[in-house]
Amino acid sequence: MDPFWSSRRLLIGVSGGIAAYKTCALVSGLVQQGAEVKVVLTAAAEKFVSPLTFAALSRQPTLTDVEFWQSTRGRPLHIELGEWAEAILIAPLSANTLSKLTHGLADNLLTNVVLASQCPVAVAPAMNTQMWRAQAVAQNWQLLQRDPRFWALPTVSGRLACDAVGEGRMLEPEALQEYALALVWTKGQRDWQGKRVLVSAGGTREPIDAVRFIGNPASGRMGIALAVAAACRGASVTMVHGPLGIPFQPEPFGIQALAVETAAQLENTLSTLFPQVDMLWMAAAVGDVRPSQPYAGKLPKAQLPEMLPLEQIPDLVGTLSQSKHPDQRIIGFAAQTGDPLPPAQAKLHQKGLDAIVANPIDLPDSGFGSLHNQGYWIPRCGNIETILPCTKSIMAHRLLDLALQLG
């Protein structure tokens, strides 16, 4: 369980569509994280997934139109749910429910709850490609986005239930959970809207020959978490990454992902992109040394040199900081053993950074490859903030909050 999700109140609305099966995994994941989840089904949704399924997964009674129209409670059910919900996520959003939300119609429990509530609402469409492209649907989709209360989540391309291949596929549960986290964390505020963010992630590899390299165990998980959190909160995000230790799909978050391998490739790509962004998060674990002369092809084991000539890799982030404009910000990372503060503070000033994140890699369940992290936020001007152990997704949102204070 995650402390952040403890006692968070999330209402999941399910409208008619085969993608409702994905919502089962979403509800299960949120409950396992500690969230309190209530599920509201439309009549059409009940044709795809039974109320009993969601009741078992949410540990709560599933709410349908039967409860709505036959309620004998002291207060109207839709009023109570609207006041209870901290956030609402509708997944899948059908063309029918989209039309109702757009035009303020309320003929079932779900649409009445939306109108009776003031919390933020995220909607995840799912429909056949031709339905998704239909003029009426497109107009409703655009009109809904004029209401700042609604977070209009994207669809992705892929194979649909009708065997067609195209856009209109609902996001996977893992992506929906990231959006739900951002929705609840920010209380529906797209506070990074309009900001251009560049994130480096993963480790670099310096070739010895065609099959051997010098590298490090960085998985890219922290950089990915930052890129995803910033994108969910409205930023335009580009992520430049070395080889990753975990699978990552940038499409659900609208992230432009560019793959590199060596420090030189990373330097060339970042140098090209950096002038056009507002902030760089240097989360990549860039190597410190590389072979002076890589060998062509694969060396036989017997021909491997006993001593490998090495050269230092130039200070990439230090070079970038020398070219930054007054309104640009660069945030570095320092993965350290022992007391991380002194070496991180030295790097902050030596490299001309606006802030640095010092994270210990010698503590249990922290650092490279871990799902969790902890550390210190050290700004050039201001107070050091301690970030207690948490998931890297939670740490990413905490860091984004702190970065907004840099101005």
CATH number at residue 317: 3.40.50.10300
Q: Is residue 351 part of a domain?
A: yes
The two three-digit tokens of residue 196, written as one number? 């251009």
What is the per-residue pLDDT across 285-340, written as a single tens digit (0 to 9) for each? 999 999 998 988 998 988 888 889 999 999 999 999 999 999 999 999 998 889 99
**pLDDT of the residue at 303:** 87
Q: How many other C-beta atoms can be found within 10 angstroms of the C-beta atom of residue 338?
A: 9
On whether both 215 and 182 belong to a single domain, the answer is no
| SS3 call for 355 | strand
Q: Is residue 21 part of a domain?
A: yes
Q: How sure is the predictor about 378, in pLDDT bands with cuts at 50, 70 and 90?
A: very high
On whether both 206 and 101 belong to a single domain, the answer is no
**pLDDT of the residue at 273:** 98
Q: What is the mean pLDDT of residues 142-166?
A: 90
Please state, in angstroms and rounded to a whole number, the distance separating the CA atoms of residues 333 and 88. Answer: 35
On whether both 181 and 216 belong to a single domain, the answer is no
Q: How sure is the predictor about 73, in pLDDT bands with cuts at 50, 70 and 90?
A: low
The two three-digit tokens of residue 158, written as one number? 């892929």
In the chain, the amino acid numbered 77 is: L
Q: How many other C-beta atoms can be found within 10 angstroms of the C-beta atom of residue 19?
A: 26
On whether both 219 and 176 belong to a single domain, the answer is no
**pLDDT of the residue at 302:** 86
On whether both 28 and 126 belong to a single domain, the answer is yes
Say which residue the tokens 């497109």 belong to.
138
On whether both 100 and 201 belong to a single domain, the answer is no
On whether both 178 and 213 belong to a single domain, the answer is no
- The number of angstroms, rounded, from the C-alpha of 332 to the middle of its chain's C-alpha atoms is 19
- The number of angstroms, rounded, from the C-alpha of 15 to the middle of its chain's C-alpha atoms is 24
* Residue 166 confidence (pLDDT) above 90: no
Please state, in angstroms and rounded to a whole number, the distance separating the CA atoms of residues 149 and 96. Answer: 19
Query: Among 135, 160, 186, which residue terminates a domain?
Result: 186
Say which residue the tokens 């301690």 belong to.
386
Query: Among 186, 212, 232, which residue terminates a domain?
Result: 186
On whether both 17 and 144 belong to a single domain, the answer is yes
Q: What is the dihedral of CA 281, 284, 288, 293, to 10 degrees?
A: -120
What is the per-residue pLDDT across 25-61, written as a single tens digit (0 to 9) for each? 999 999 999 999 999 999 999 999 999 999 999 999 9
Kindly report which listed range (20-34, 69-83, 314-328, 342-356) carries the lowest average pLDDT score: 69-83
Contacts of 138 (CB under 8 A, 6+ apart): none
**pLDDT of the residue at 305:** 87
On whether both 116 and 253 belong to a single domain, the answer is no
Residue 314 lies in domain: 196-404
On whether both 283 and 173 belong to a single domain, the answer is no
Query: Among 186, 205, 225, which residue terminates a domain?
Result: 186
Q: Are 57 and 31 in contact (CB under 8 A)?
A: yes
162 is catalytic: yes
Q: Are 260 and 269 in contact (CB under 8 A)?
A: yes
| SS3 call for 171 | coil
Q: What is the mean pLDDT of residues 161-165?
A: 78
On whether both 149 and 12 belong to a single domain, the answer is yes
Q: Is residue 191 part of a domain?
A: no
Quote the number of domains for the chain. 2
Q: How sure is the predictor about 72, in pLDDT bands with cuts at 50, 70 and 90?
A: low
Please state, in angstroms and rounded to a whole number, the distance separating the CA atoms of residues 85 and 265. Answer: 47
Please state, in angstroms and rounded to a whole number, the distance separating the CA atoms of residues 137 and 96. Answer: 9
Instruction: Pick 157 or 191 by higher pLDDT.
Output: 191
Residues linked to residue 36 through DSSP beta bridges, in sequence order: 9
Q: Which of 162, 232, 381, 390 is catalytic?
A: 162
Identify the CATH number of the domain in which residue 64 sits. Answer: 3.40.50.1950
Please state, in angstroms and rounded to a whole number, the distance separating the CA atoms of residues 195 and 170. Answer: 26
